[in-house]
């Protein structure tokens, strides 16, 4: 008994110590960092994500996602040849068959930049879908295919005019594409799981497009997979490989020591594999291949290379041994931590958040784009050693494109009549001063360090996962998670978006974390990492980075900032004070009471009647409404699979706002308005 009292005393003391530490951390946050996240993300790094060789092998094109450029290097000695500025946050690019055009998918502009590779200039800018991630040109020169993450489709453009011909339905969060060597098939991956029943394993697919028919002809199922990145095709077209995550979101994430969070896997399919795709793990006990992203296969199919963003390495796989393994062993293999020893023959450490990989035309070298180092690792494919690392010149030049006139044209209405950037909320007249104020290298480096911490898995138990495992590209993953060690299936929570988090505290669905340092510090260390804790500087950098993340452009708002008639009607419902029968709606039962202010939250917790038997509480933090259209499912546990279901299924008592008087037309209008938030 006395021992219990002593323990309780220590526990209290520990809690107080943690609280004091957190308060100190908040106070210690560098002012520059605080100001930087107030400003939104400053773009001063190149952040290379993809690379391409010209058809003659003389040039290397590097896609710089943060400086919004294509860098052109001499492929032999990596000296700069030129730079072409493209649209905002380019994420993918591809050459035309003859190499005369380079197409760049600009994810924040919803456009494709067309670069003349001879003049190194942008000769056209075409419209694509919502948030284009990658682009491919067909060998016949008729079509350009663009995978769009938000609209979850592939836009087919006329390669001559850029006119959109059609949209093909892909998986949710369509992202990366690869074409078969004969040009007949395109394989498309997607990063968010396809919509499915609640609390069931996630489902993804490889969408297969017939290039001649320009139609989707197959969807290869990827069971239990969510988060599929690059896919590649062997030179003979007999083997396709996709890099992916196999989350274990149905069991408590706290069971990290039991290998409980993710399996990092590849799915192999094609005639080399057989009739059914095979999922193989990359992880080993004590050594996880966190967040596999890029894949490349040598032309002789002797080796396969996989970049792993979290574990900051490249895996070398002996492909004949891998194929032998899957043909001689009975699956499933995905969760067998002993499997990878049969085919992973080397781990090559590289830089921070390695992304795209490219094999040189002579197959002697492998290039790896280290996004958060602004460097390219050059690896000898024979010895599996890093030969050199190429810095991208001018990578620390300050880019303030975010504050350009174009961005300021997307303005919010301000009471004082001033124009304000809708993304970073900086007054137009102050932008120059602001940019100057934060143009020191030191301040920017803090954000970069924070981003590196966000993307690395080195802090978690056995290096299993990073923040970015669930927050792809600093966003979300479309999954519901069982986070706490409170029993299986208890307190399920939906993953929330990390955009524009200012003025949205507290955090967690139960509002238990008063600020980001608490959310990312002790809580993450205890429940997620179960391993090394951040020191004060690291935590400050991480928090600074997270709070610097701006909201993506909202795709449902008109360019003019005006609302459509349906959105206007929806806004009227959102702000109404009387119901359809003329009765007053109690203040606390109006939409804009809890979802108030510019972020759509009053930062308080309420019981809106959504508690389930497995929840410890019925009071949940009012979530902000930032880009809410993107983040299905909804409610604290993801039980509402669409915005509509929040009210058609989960608001029978009108506790989540007075809505049961609404007609279907009115509910649709309300949803249309919410999509503009």
Burial class (CB in 10 A: 0-12, 13-18, 19+), 521: buried
* Dihedral, CA of residue 170, residue 175, residue 179 and residue 185, to nearest 10: 0
Crossing angle between the packed helical segments 31-39 and 441-455, to the nearest 10 degrees: 80
Q: Report the residue number, 59 or 190, with the smaller CB distance to another protein.
A: 190
- Do the bridges between strand 492-494 and strand 605-607 make them parallel or antiparallel, or are there none, so unpaired? unpaired
| Of residues 167 and 655, the one with the C-beta less far from another protein | 167
Chain positions contacting another protein, by CB under 8 A:
129, 151, 165-169, 194-195, 205, 207-208, 213, 215-219, 556, 566, 641-642, 644-645, 648-649, 663-665, 667-668, 671-672
Q: Taking each helix axis from N to C terminus, what angle separates 2-28 and 536-548, rounded to the nearest 10 degrees? A: 60
**Between 187 and 459, whose beta carbon lies closer to another protein?**
187
- For 165, phi and psi rounded to 5 degrees? -95, -40
Residue 571 CB, nearest approach to another protein (Å): 15
CA distances, 296 to each of 209, 233, 268 (Å)? 21, 8, 13
- CB-based burial of residue 269 (10 Å sphere; 0-12 exposed, 13-18 middle, 19+ buried)? buried
Instruction: Identify any residues that bridge with 370 across adjacent strands, giving them in sequence order.
Output: 354, 375
Residue 41 or 203 with smaller CB distance to another protein? 203
Q: Taking the complex as a whole, how short is the minimal distance between the CB of residue 652 and another protein, in angstroms? A: 12
How are strands ordered across the β-sheet holding 121-127? Answer: 90-95, 101-106, 111-116, 121-127
**Minimum gap (Å) between residue 92 Cβ and another protein:** 21
Least distance between another protein and beta carbon 241 (Å): 21
Residue 233 β-bridge partners: 240
Q: Which is nearer to another protein, 152 or 420 (CB)?
A: 152
Q: How far apart are CA 113 and CA 104, in angstroms?
A: 5
Question: How many degrees, rounded to 5, is the angle at CA 225 between CA 222 and CA 230?
Answer: 80
| Minimum CB distance to another protein smaller for 62 or for 667 | 667
Q: Output the smallest distance, CB 367 to another protein, in A.
A: 35
Closer residue to another protein in complex, CB, 164/602: 164
**Given the complex with another protein, which of 389 and 666 has the nearer CB atom?**
666
C-alpha to C-alpha distances, 509 to 119, 300, 591, 611, nearest whole angstrom? 53, 51, 18, 12
What's the min distance (Å) between Cβ of 258 and another protein? Answer: 33
CB closer to another protein out of 205 and 279? 205
The minimum distance between CB 664 and another protein, in angstroms, equals 6
**Min. distance of Cβ 222 from another protein in angstroms?**
12
Q: How far is the CB of 174 from another protein (least distance, A)?
A: 13
Helix (H) or strand (E) segment spanning residue 645:
helix 643-648
Please give the Cα distance from 576 to 570 (Å, whole number).
Answer: 10
């Amino acid at each position: 008994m006395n021992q219990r009292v002593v323990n309780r005393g220590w526990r209290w003391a520990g809690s107080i110590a943690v609280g004091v530490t957190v308060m100190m951390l908040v106070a210690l946050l560098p002012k520059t960092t605080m100001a930087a996240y107030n400003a939104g993300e400053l773009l001063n790094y190149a952040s290379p994500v993809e690379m391409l060789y010209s058809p003659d092998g003389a040039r290397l094109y590097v896609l710089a996602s943060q400086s919004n450029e294509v860098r052109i290097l001499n492929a032999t000695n990596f000296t700069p040849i030129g730079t072409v500025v493209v649209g905002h946050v380019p994420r993918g690019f591809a050459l035309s068959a003859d190499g005369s055009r380079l197409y760049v998918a600009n994810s924040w502009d919803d456009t494709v930049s067309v670069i003349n590779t001879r003049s190194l200039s942008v000769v056209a800018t075409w419209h694509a879908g919502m948030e284009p991630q990658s682009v491919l040109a067909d060998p016949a020169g008729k079509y350009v295919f663009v995978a769009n993450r938000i609209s979850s489709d592939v836009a087919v453009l006329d390669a001559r005019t850029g006119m959109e011909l059609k949209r093909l339905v892909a998986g949710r969060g369509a992202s990366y594409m690869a074409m078969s060597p004969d040009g007949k098939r395109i394989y498309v991956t997607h990063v968010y799981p396809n919509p499915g029943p609640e609390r069931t394993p996630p489902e993804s697919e490889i969408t297969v497009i017939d290039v001649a028919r320009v139609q989707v002809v197959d969807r290869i199922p990827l069971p239990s997979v969510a988060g599929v990145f690059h896919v590649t095709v062997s030179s003979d077209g007999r083997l396709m490989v996709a890099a992916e995550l196999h989350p274990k979101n149905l069991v408590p994430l706290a069971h990290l020591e039991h290998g409980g969070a993710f399996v990092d896997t590849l799915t192999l399919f094609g005639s080399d594999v057989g009739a059914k795709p095979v999922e193989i793990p990359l992880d080993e006990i004590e050594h996880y291949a966190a967040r596999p992203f890029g894949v490349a296969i040598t032309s002789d199919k002797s080796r396969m290379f996989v970049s792993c963003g979290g574990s900051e390495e490249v895996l070398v796989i002996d492909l004949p041994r891998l194929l032998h393994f899957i043909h001689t062993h009975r699956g499933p293999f995905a969760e067998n931590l002993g499997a990878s020893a049969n085919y992973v023959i080397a781990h090559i450490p590289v830089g921070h958040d390695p992304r795209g990989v490219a094999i040189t035309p002579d197959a002697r070298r492998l290039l790896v784009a280290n996004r958060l180092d602004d460097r390219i690792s050059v690896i000898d494919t024979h010895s599996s050693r890093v030969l050199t690392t190429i810095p991208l010149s001018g990578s620390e030049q300050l880019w303030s494109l975010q504050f350009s006139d174009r961005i300021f044209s997307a303005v919010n209405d301000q009471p004082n009549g001033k124009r304000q950037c809708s993304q970073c909320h900086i007054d137009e007249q102050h932008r120059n001063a602001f940019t100057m104020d934060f143009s020191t290298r030191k301040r920017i480096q803090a954000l970069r360090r924070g981003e590196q911490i966000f993307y690395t898995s080195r802090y978690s138990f056995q290096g299993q996962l990073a923040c970015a495992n669930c927050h792809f590209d600093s966003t979300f993953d479309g999954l519901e998670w069982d986070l706490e060690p409170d029993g299986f299936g208890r307190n399920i929570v939906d993953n929330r978006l990390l955009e524009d988090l200012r003025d949205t505290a507290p955090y967690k669905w139960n509002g238990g974390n008063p600020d980001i340092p608490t959310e990312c510090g002790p809580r993450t260390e205890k429940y997620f990492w179960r391993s090394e804790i951040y020191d004060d500087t690291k935590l400050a950098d991480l928090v600074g980075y997270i709070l610097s993340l701006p909201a993506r452009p909202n795709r449902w708002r008109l360019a003019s900032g005006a609302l459509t008639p349906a959105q206007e009607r929806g806004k009227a419902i959102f702000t109404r004070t009387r119901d359809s029968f003329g009765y007053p709606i109690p203040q606390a039962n109006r939409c804009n009471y809890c979802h108030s202010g510019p972020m759509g939250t009053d930062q308080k917790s309420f019981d809106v009647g959504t508690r389930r038997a497995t929840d410890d509480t019925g009071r949940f933090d009012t979530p902000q409404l930032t880009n809410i259209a993107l983040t299905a499912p909804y409610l604290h546990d993801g039980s509402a699979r669409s915005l509509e279901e929040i009210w058609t299924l989960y608001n029978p008592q009108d506790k989540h706002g007075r809505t049961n008087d609404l007609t279907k037309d009115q509910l649709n209008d309300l949803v249309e308005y919410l999509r503009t938030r």
